[in-house]
Amino acid sequence: MSIFRTVLISLFFALLPALSMPAPAHMTVKAINRLQLERRNQTIELSFKDLVQLGEKDPARIHVQNAAGYEILCQAVDTDGDYSADLLIFQTDFAPGETKSFTVTSGAKWTYTQDQFKSYGRFVRERFDDFAWENDRIAHRMYGKALETWVREPLTSSTVDIWSKRVPRMIINDWYMVDNYHVDNGEGADFYSASVSRGCGGNGLWAADKLWVSNNFVTSRVLANGPIRVMFELTYEPFEVNGSKVAETKRIALDAGQNLDHYQSFYKSQSDSEALTSAIGLKKTAGDQKEFNAEHGWLAQWEKMEKNAGNQGLAIIVNPKTFAGEAEDRLNRLVLSKANPDGMVSYWAGFIWDKTGADYSSWKTYVDHFAQELLSPIEVTISTNP
């Protein structure tokens, strides 16, 4: 037998196990938009429990392709802080009533580039414990414990502040670095004074016809940090609510391409038998306009900004099933929402700047469509293909 033939036979038997192995499994995701509305930047969530048949243990190696075979940016998300991913998320657009299909496979490990990030957030110790976060449309910050005792401008408030941006790139780090974020140098600026109001969607508890609020947050932890979703938690010291002490952990999430944040407050009261009602607020401004839609659970507001910076719209959305009424105090318009039996309140709040092309009418339309989307989420089914 020739040496050449011997080598061929050896190679054949060496490759035989690989040739007999089945092709790697892939999964098909079917996503249906039941609304007769165009839906942009919709986040699709896939549970890793439903993806186990891929046989891939590293979530950073899971890939999603659209029906045309193009790779879609995706992100693994740890929702409970145990350092193990629970969700795989990606985004897509839908025409009215459209159904889309996607293929999920395993492959090379994801390596993100800076320009792919459309959401980001961090604890800002150098600015007296701010927590700041943003996406490609909006930015916010909330105030930590150190600000309560700052000798120059002490502030005790669990409000939600607004940073108006006119560029899609991430700006938080740059604005803090130059420490000149009250001046618009072409990217936007901090034009908003939230102070001790509820600002843009800050909340508290409503009892005895009064708003009760916490002080500044004391600890924070980041659960997800882009490129699609930023998600983090803030904890607060127990605060007084009509004679009882209530502890709060607040979870905030913001996805790329959206003008509304998702807020969840987890309350624990010393009075376990007492049902809790949250009050979510928008700061009152002279001459502002407001509209409330009880059917879809939203409050929208339109107001002039400080420093002649233009106009902005603000909004709150709650589930109509938990809606418990409207209220006001000296500083805020409030939407009341009942906590579930475990003391959790869920709502959405955010804003838009007219420098991005919006007006009051388009803002109300955006908010109403967003509320309808929450009531009719994208239907997702997953099937396995060998």
Cross-sheet strand order for the sheet of 119-124: 119-124, 130-135, 139-142, 161-165, 188-189
- β-strands 200-207, 39-47 pairing: unpaired
The pLDDT assigned to 345 comes to: 98
What type of residue is 290? K
* HEC string for the chain: CCHHHHHHHHHHHHHHHHHHCCCCCEEEEEEECCCCCCEEEEEEEEEHHHHHHHCCCCHHHEEEEECCCCEECEEEECCCCCCCCCEEEEEEEECCCCEEEEEEEECCCCCCCHHHCCEEEEEEHHHCCEEEEEECCCEEEECEHHHHHCCCCCCCCCCEEEEEECCCCCCHHHHHHHCCCCCCCCCEECCCCCCCCCEEEEEEEEECCEEECCCCECEEEEEEECCCEEEEEEEEEEEEECCEEEEEEEEEEEECCCCEEEEEEEEEECCCCCCCEEEEEEECCCCCEEEEECCCCEEEEEEECHHHCCEEEEEEEECCCCEEEEEECCCEEEEEEECCCCCEEEEEEEEEEHHHCCCHHHHHHHHHHHHHHHHCCCEEEEEEEC
Per-residue confidence (pLDDT) for residue 386, from 0 to 100? 58
One-letter amino acid for residue 321 of the chain: K
Joined tokens for residue 246? 């209530």
pLDDT at 13 over 70: no
Reply yes or no on domain 116-375 having CATH 2.70.98: yes
Sheet holding 62-66, edge to edge: 71-72, 62-66, 99-106, 26-32, 379-385
Which residue in 216, 377, 193 sits closest to 285, CA to CA? Answer: 193
Q: Phi first, then psi: what are they for 309, rounded to 5°?
A: -85, 0
What is the residue whose two structure tokens read 């459209």? 98
Lowest mean pLDDT among 210-219, 225-234, 265-274, 344-353: 265-274
Task: Please state the rounded mean pLDDT for residues 165-185.
Answer: 94
pLDDT, the chain, mean:
92
CATH code 2.70.98 region(s) in the chain? 116-375
Q: Strands 260-269, 71-72: parallel, antiparallel or unpaired by DSSP?
A: unpaired
The pLDDT, as a whole number, for residue 6 is 44
pLDDT at 7: 40
What percentage of the chain exceeds 70 in pLDDT? 93
Answer yes or no: is pLDDT of 17 > 60.
no
Per-residue pLDDT, 95: 98
Q: What's the pLDDT band for 291 if we cut at 50, 70, 90?
A: very high
> What confidence tier does 384 reach under pLDDT thresholds 50, 70, 90?
confident
Q: Which fold has domain 26-110?
A: Immunoglobulin-like (2.60.40)
The ranges of the chain annotated as CATH 2.60.40.1180 are 26-110
Contacts of 360 (CB under 8 A, 6+ apart): 289, 302, 311, 313
- What's residue 273's pLDDT? 65
**Rounded Cα–Cα distance for residues 313 and 353 (Å):** 7
Beta strands 260-269 and 344-353 are antiparallel
**Better-predicted residue by pLDDT, 327 or 272:** 327
Q: Is the pLDDT of residue 15 over 50?
A: no
98-115 average pLDDT score:
95
pLDDT at 203: 98
Task: Taking residues 146-172, report their average pLDDT.
Answer: 96
